[in-house]
Structure 1
């Protein structure tokens, strides 16, 4: 299967893009990573070659990142379905499978696993808050609102999925169109503001973020799903070695002062450790000195964390 990866970033999230790409490459990915961005490109992304609507950075002889500058007022977390649909329509119509990863994810498993996974259904990972009963008041509110706008309910589920990762085949892209349509309809009707990360926190229809709307879209489609538990993103401090996600309020690994946090009782996370495993090759994100200092800090922080737990 011909497949590609995509992500969205701005600001210092470029560190995550580099490490995500390294972690994919080091587990067998070969091909194109499409990266939509706002602002300026990072210093490590040089030299660049101009393409049709993108700039291309060579990661290795058989892997590239293609950067697409985006002009949208939407918060990037609400722009995922738009970007994936644009890629299929304008940039890579030949691709059979497309995977979106948030830039604060580090891959931990073979690329072949993803290709097999997406052949079984839309690939998803449960959120850290993974259980949302069928009769949860939020879920019932979403269903009620969707039906008001002519949508039909197709799937009962009590699982809640994280929107930081999704993979699907091109013949399933109607799910992306539905996700996009729901977001835009609810904004036009005044329920949410797509320029905000938090959509309608604490008020009807109780969309906390884009992933609530993704979960609603999954309720409104009969497309097959293939899903893993929250351990698929290392949530809860345990892992099944698929990926690791510094989601939500977690301090991103590239920002974290490891020793300082450990002295405060927060040992390095699985994502911190995964991040620093993939910072240097094939893309060198840090100088040799910076990397050595961070590896020492990581080991020291881990030792402090063990001591604090025992005490």
Structure 2
């Protein structure tokens, strides 16, 4: 089962392989016609080549299900008999315990490999998305390259993306939560930066009674002094979506703080908030890119 990791590179590049195949078909009518003839062959079971590209990933997703079923129908180990009463039973005792343990280990291994593949695919898709977003992002005259690694947290990861609205004005913003920054883009107007990126490790989620009737639909993102001293209030499409955003930001902030603490050590700066130069976004430092505002609520 551990050798199933050979599928990792293939599965990560599967989506790109499908795009390459389609581009070759579009550019070469003869190839497209030949592939169609092969599809009509009975041995191909009327399946297109693109369908066969999916087979390795489909196998990886099915293995945990199949092994779990096998485990379900594998008898648990029988109790150890009293050898003083029936000593001869030891000659024909089954190996249920060894067999069941082996199957359980195989299941755990299959699940780990599948999770590793899925995580790698998500990371790649996230990097591609960050590359797309970076094409039009500028801070002043400088291009903001989101695909570059962070200063202390390794490669930047896209954790969550969605459209939220400002609580007061209703203005739509496309929000990208990364492992180190929170990015706010204009949903209209060409999708440019609404404001400079916010370092995730400086953010907190606040609660308030001001929106008591729809408390869970609002996300209050606070950035404390000396870097911000403001609270950005956003509204999600629904209660569940607001909750997932809140949990994602809290989790990202905690991981970013811990990652920076480990990277730079327990210096005085890390104890008081890591300082404004802790996170980079491919040009300069995020926190020094703009002038902090001291409003109590900028939602």
TM-score between both structures, scaled by the size of structure 1: 0.21
- Quick check: which one's strand share is greater? 1
* Larger Cα-atom Rg: 2
TM-score between both structures, scaled by the size of structure 2: 0.21
Q: Report which structure shows greater RCO (CA 8 Å, sep ≥6).
A: 1
